[in-house]
Each structure stands twice: as structure tokens, then as C-alpha cells.
Structure 1
Amino acid sequence: MTSIPDVAVTQNARTWTLGTSPWQRIPAIGAPRARVIIDNDFSGDPDDLYQLVHHLLSPNVDIRLVVASHLRDGDPFDSGPDTAENATRVVEDVFARMGLESTDVVTTGSNRPLADRTTPQPAPAVDAIVTEAMRDDDTPLFFVAGGGLTDLASAYLVEPRIAERMTVIWIGGLEHEGLAVPPPDAMPIEYNLLIDVVAGQVVFNDSGLAIWQVPRDVYRQCLVSDAELRLRVAATGPLGRYLYDEVARVVRRATGQGRGPAETYALGDSPLVLLTALRSLFEADSSSSRHVGMPTPAIADNGTYVPAPDARPMRVYTWVDTRLMFEDFYLKLQEFSAWQQSETLYPNQ
């Protein structure tokens, strides 16, 4: 339900490129220590807009690609059929609002899910993912996904060696037995997995990709209040107001359907930033959050897990540090918005 622009907004007068952070009066310390490929269904739930902006404002990661991926047919957020192209337009619109000129990193995924577990869906994003993964660079590479896994699965089918060269962080999948229980009236197949169950099977069942999973019970922990969004996001300026208004549209629609109102909203894609840009300095890891290790289960056609005791290990997060995650976002947005709106705040930049 994210607003899909007919024409991108006029680019902000203050411009910048990835790899710079001119809004910081005290320059960022050191170079990025991880590469990141962002993959999300940007024409869907606007929580991905918050994740995108937060990642773009985080100098500790080198954003190599932003993959605009598809939703399932008939999705209530965007019924399609060209949801990947719609997602691309949304990303380009966000870049323009931010004055970010690095549009070369934006690439479009497939509009369709996988037809089977051996045939990739061709798309510009698939080739770009393979190229980045196979590039001669020892910097750790994270593939962070807040939607379906079509383009990652296709890239693996095209070039299986990418499995040895990245870590996948995925927001999606059902609760694991013994760790959590489903919410009331839960979808039987978790929302992000439902976008492309076959792609999930390729990634979990068939590949050797290292997975850090943030399942449904954990991404539902990422609640913010309307008061936070009004005072810490909307009040910062045009970019913050845009982000707030996109969530408000969803809340109004849900209220009209008898599912609201509520004073909270789940920004469930934000752990993608927490687990990459906000890792610890010493013994670098997502040390303020909690996870368990387990053999990677297979995914059945109905979206449930099938135990695979001899499978490769994976991480399953059980709790994420929402204080660090959201406070960092609010402050970065405030700092960026102040710079963006003032020609005199930082006269030497």
C-alpha cells in the first residue's frame, strides 16, 4: 500500500552519494566493514521504507545493491501485476526525496515467483546479485531480505557458488516449535514466505546459503507507538513526514476494515539494519540481540518446517534490541533532516 509515484519528486537541493555522510558534523570513523545487498518488496508494507532509509544513513555498511522485489498476486498492499517495477519506482522516489544520487545501485527483480526448484526467474537483479557475490572482495557480504526470496533463489540457481560468499538475513518464516507460538488468527503460511514458497525451499532445502532468520514472532516485537512516529519521525521534516504518512495510510485502511485503530505499528524489517550496521566493535556480532543455533530445517509446501538434523547450521533470532535499533534510526533521521533542510547549519560542507 506504499504510495507508488506517477512522477518522482523533485530531487532535494542538497545532494550526496553513498559512501559519504555530509550531515555528520563529526565525520564517520573508518570505512564500512560489511557489504550489503538490500532486497525488499517496496510497494508493499511501508515498514521497508524505514529499513531502507535507516540503512542508507548507516556509514558502517557499503550498500552495493537495492533490489526491488515482487509481491504475491493479489496482495492487498499492491495487487500488481508489475509489483517489482512498482517497487523500483518507490525506491527511486525515496532516493530523490533524500537527494541521494547513487541510483546506479537500484535494480529490479522478477515480477513472478519461481515455477519450480530448478528454473530461475530472469531479472536484472539476478545478474547483479551474482556479479556482486562473485566480485573479488574479502569484505563480508550480507544479503538482507524483508520480503520474498525469488531473486536470491534465482541467483543461486544461476551460480551456486554464491552460497559460499554471503550470509542471508531474512525477515520471514513461521515460529519454531519450542521457541514461540503463532499469534491469534495467524496466516497459516507466513506473509513473506507466501510471496514465493518455492524460493524459500530453494534457499532452505537446496542451497548451502548461511541463514540468519528473524521469524514472525521476532519481527512482531518491533513495535513503535504512534507518539514515537509523530514526535520522532514526522516532526523531523519532509522525509520524516513522508515516512509517517505512509504508515498512517495503512492504519486508516485497517481501521476502515474493522481491524483498528491501534497506537502501535510493527516496523518489522528494521532488524536488517540492526544485525548488519549496528554490530559490536569487538568480536563483531549482533551481540545485543539473542539467537539460537539449529540445523537448517526444510520448508514444506504448506510453509511449515521439516526437521533436517544433519543440515547445515543456521541462526534463529529470538529477541532483537529494539532500543538500539529505533533510537539509532530516530537520531540519524533527525541529524540528516536538519542538514537537508538547512543551507547554513553546516556552512563548511
Structure 2
Amino acid sequence: MGLDFTTPEYKRLRVIVDTDAACEADDPFAIVHALLSPKLCVMGILAEHFKVEGSMQRSYDEIKTILDAMGMSVPVFHGQNGLLSEDESISEAAKFIIDEALKDDERPLFILCQGAITNVAKALEFCPEIRYKITVIWIGTHGEAPCKAPFTEFNAVNDIPAANLVLQSGVDLWLVPSHVYITINIGIAEIQRRIRPCGKIGEHLFKNLVDYNMSEGAGWTQGESWSLGDSPAIAIAINPGCGHYHTAKAPLVLEDTSSAVKEDNPDIRIYTDVDSRYILEDLIAKLELCYGN
């Protein structure tokens, strides 16, 4: 089986997926969604840290595991080893962003960010002119300011200086804040029934999620459901109209991840909702068609 359709060439996008894939269980679903979507030409996948020693390498290893389970080959790059302020070197991931942005290619380039945004920040810090050549979709922050943090927003807190550098850079930024990305809810029973049977990758997605759900690190979860909060980065690239958005000033991220007003910040696109039914069903249908019995 497989997809009996494709996307017209002039509608296709170059994309780079930036992911803290080993952090917890939703990143792998988003990576799979990107790889199975004909509109998205995945040029490379970047490993992102999650503010734990060795976490970037763990993300890199998880990306390779996903590709092996899917029987696919896509370039994978090591990212920054830690916070923007602590890692003065430029990683192969940041270099890849710069090289891809500077290519002579008519297809738009989107960076789909599913964790801390350190790799993109390093690329912008090293080569600011690429801000005119890329669109960044980021799952992160609590959104439009002013907004007091209802909880610590994980992706922003993992590198607040990097977050603020990108938010202030003037890059074409599409932001998916916490109150939006937490709505992509699915029961673990549905994952077992519909995704687990989808070959080696379906089994990996299910087992990886169940193992994390039973770990001490999953104390924040509800117990038998999950929010696939990284998947909107992929779905919005495929279909920017799968949610509502408006233009507003980019927030300043404070130490507690509250959003504060900074009057000289540039305008960005901020999503206010997304269609969870479309996002989940598109992912599951592609898995079923490509890896189902």
C-alpha cells in the first residue's frame, strides 16, 4: 500500500525538522508525520538538546531509530550540545540550516521546531541574513503578551536566551503557543488500536509512549491519554489554514516563561487554535496507508 496521490511540485516545501526527539513521547509522531507527507521535502532532521547532559545525542539516536523503523534514509545532524550562551561552537545542525537557507532553490524553506530553539538561534546568530530566507514554525511559549505563565513552558525554558533571540530576530515566525498545542489529545487505547499495527514504526511509537507514560518523568501526564503537542508544527506546514491565527508583537519570554510586552519586538504570526481532528486523522491515515496490513 501507500499514498496514491502526491502534491504538485510548485506547492512543495523544503523543510528541516528540529527536534528533541528523546525528551518524551510526542516528537516521534511528528517526525513520522513529516516524513509521510508528500508536500514536505524533508531535507534533514536536526537533533536538539533538552537541557540535560547528553540529551542532544539521545535525540540524535532516537531520530536514527525512527528512520530505521520506517526504512527511510534522511540526513540527520548533531545540534548544539547545550544552551546558546554555554555552547560557543557552531554545530553541524546550525551549519546545515545556514547552508540550506543560502541555496539557490525556489521552494520555500521551513524550519519546523519541536523543542528548545537553540539550533535555529545559533544559525541566526552566526548568519543573521538567513532570517529573510526561512520561515520558522515553533511549538513554544505561552503566546501573546502579556500572559502570566500558567505552568513552566518546557520548550522555551530549555533555552530562554535562544527563544528571545529568535523572537526578536525579525525572522518569519509562526508561533504555536501552549494553550494551542496541548489540545492535540489522543487516548493511548486509540494509539494501540490504530497506530501500533502499522509495522515496526507503529510498534515503536506505541511502546516508546507507553514506556515513558510509566516512567517517573511522566508525572505531569493524565495517565491514559497524550497530547501530541509537536504535531501542529507539521500540520501547519502542510496546511497553514488548519487553524486560526493573527499577527501580534512577539513576546519577551521571562525566566518563569511568562510572556511580557516588549514594544520593539517584531510582529509574528500567532496561532490561536488548530484542528486536532485533521491533524490526528492525517497522521493516522498516512501510517495506515503506508505501514498498515
Q: Normalising by structure 1, what TM-score?
A: 0.78
Residue 35 of structure 1 aligns to a residue whose secondary structure is strand
Among candidates 33, 42, 45, match of residue 66 of structure 1: 45
Report the AA paired with residue 223 of structure 2: A
1:248-259 alignment, distance < 5 Å? 248-253=210-215
**Amino acid across the alignment from 2:71:** G
Q: How many residues align?
A: 292
Q: Which piece of structure 1 moves more, 157-166 or 107-116?
A: 107-116
Q: Pairwise mapping of residues 290-305 of structure 1 onto structure 2 (< 5 A)?
A: 290-305=244-259
Structure-2 residue corresponding to 1:145: 113
Do 1:288 and 1:321's aligned partners in 2 also have CA atoms closer than 8 Å? yes
Match of 1:36 among 15, 19, 23: 15
Show CA shifts across 1:260-314 (max 9, x none). Answer: 663310100000111012x2xxxxxx22311121022333344333323443211
Give, in whole Å, the separation in 2 of the partners of 1:263 and 1:86: 25
Structure 1 unaligned spans of 5+:
1-21, 74-80, 280-285, 342-349
Aligned partner of 2:78 in structure 1 is 108
Deviations along 1:68-104, whole A, 9 cap, x unmatched? Answer: 111113xxxxxxx2211221111111111111133xx
Tell me, yes or no, if structure 1 residue 274 matches structure 2 residue 244.
no
Q: Secondary structure at the match of 2:268?
A: strand
The answer to whether residue 175 in structure 2 is matched with residue 213 in structure 1 is yes
SS at 1:70's partner residue? coil
Between 58-67 and 295-304, report the one with greater CA deviation: 295-304
Q: Which letter maps to 1:95?
A: L
Query: Which amino acid in 1 is paired with 2:108?
Result: P
Contact 1:175–1:181 (CA<8 Å) still a contact in 2? no
| Structure exhibiting the larger radius of gyration computed from Cα positions | 1
More off after superposition, 234-243 vs 322-331: 234-243
> How far off its partner does 1:242 sit?
1.1
Residue of structure 2 in register with 1:155 after alignment: 123
CA distance in structure 2 between the partners assigned to 1:293 and 1:208 by the alignment: 13
Distance 2:114 2:285 in 1: 23
Indicate the percent of aligned positions where both proteins have the same amino acid. 27
CA gap 1:256/1:109 in 2 versus in 1, 3 angstroms: closer
Change (3 A) 1:217 1:254: farther
* CA deviation profile, 1:316-339 (whole Å, cap 9, x unmatched): 11111111111111110011113x
* Structure 1 residue aligned with 2:104: 136
Q: What value does the CA root-mean-square deviation take over the aligned residues?
A: 2.2
Q: Distance in 1 between matches of 2:216 and 2:222?
A: 7
- Structure-2 change in CA distance of 1:126 and 1:28 (3 Å): same
Provide closer, same or farther for how the CA distance between residues 256 and 38 of structure 1 changes in structure 2, counting only shifts above 3 A.
closer
CA contact (8 A) 2:15 2:109 kept: yes
Task: Please say if 1:192 is aligned against 2:155.
Answer: yes
Does the 8 Å contact 1:113/1:121 carry over to 2?
A: no
Residues 197, 121 of structure 1: alpha-carbon distance in 2 compared, 3 angstrom cutoff = farther
Q: Report the secondary structure of 2:291's partner residue.
A: helix
Which TM-score applies when normalising by structure 2? 0.92
Contact 1:114–1:121 (Cα < 8 Å) also in 2: no
Match of 1:123 in 2: 91
Deviation at 1:133, TM superposition (A): 0.6
Q: Deviations over 1:183-206 (max 9, x none)?
A: 5xx22xx1111111110111113x
Contact 2:144-2:250 within 8 A present in 1 as well: no
How far apart in 2 are the matches of 1:219 and 1:35?
A: 23
Matches within 5 A, 1:20-35: 23-24=2-3, 26-31=4-9, 33-35=12-14
Q: Is the 8 A contact 2:148 2:259 kept in 1?
A: no
Change (3 A) 1:265 1:181: farther
Partner-residue secondary structure (3-state), 1:262: coil
The answer on 1:84 being equivalent to 2:56 is yes
1:27 is displaced (CA, Å) by 4.1
Give the deviation of 1:162 after TM superposition: 0.7
Classify the secondary structure of the residue corresponding to 2:196: helix
Q: Is the 8 A contact 2:48 2:59 kept in 1?
A: yes
Query: How far off its partner does 1:234 sit?
Result: 1.1
- How far is 1:163 from its partner? 0.5
* CA spacing shift, 1:143–1:29, aligned 2, 3 Å: closer
Structure 1 segments (4+ residues) deviating >6 Å: none
User: CA–CA distance in 2 between the matches of 1:156 and 1:69?
Assistant: 16
Distance, in Å, in 2 between the alignment partners of 1:34 and 1:59 is 9
> Which amino acid counterpart does residue 229 of structure 2 have in structure 1?
G
Mark the CA change 1:121 to 1:321 in structure 2 (over 3 Å): closer, same or farther. Answer: farther
Retained in 2: the 8 A contact 1:290–1:318?
yes
Q: Tell me the CA shift for residue 65 of structure 1.
A: 1.6
In structure 1, the partner of 2:30 is 51
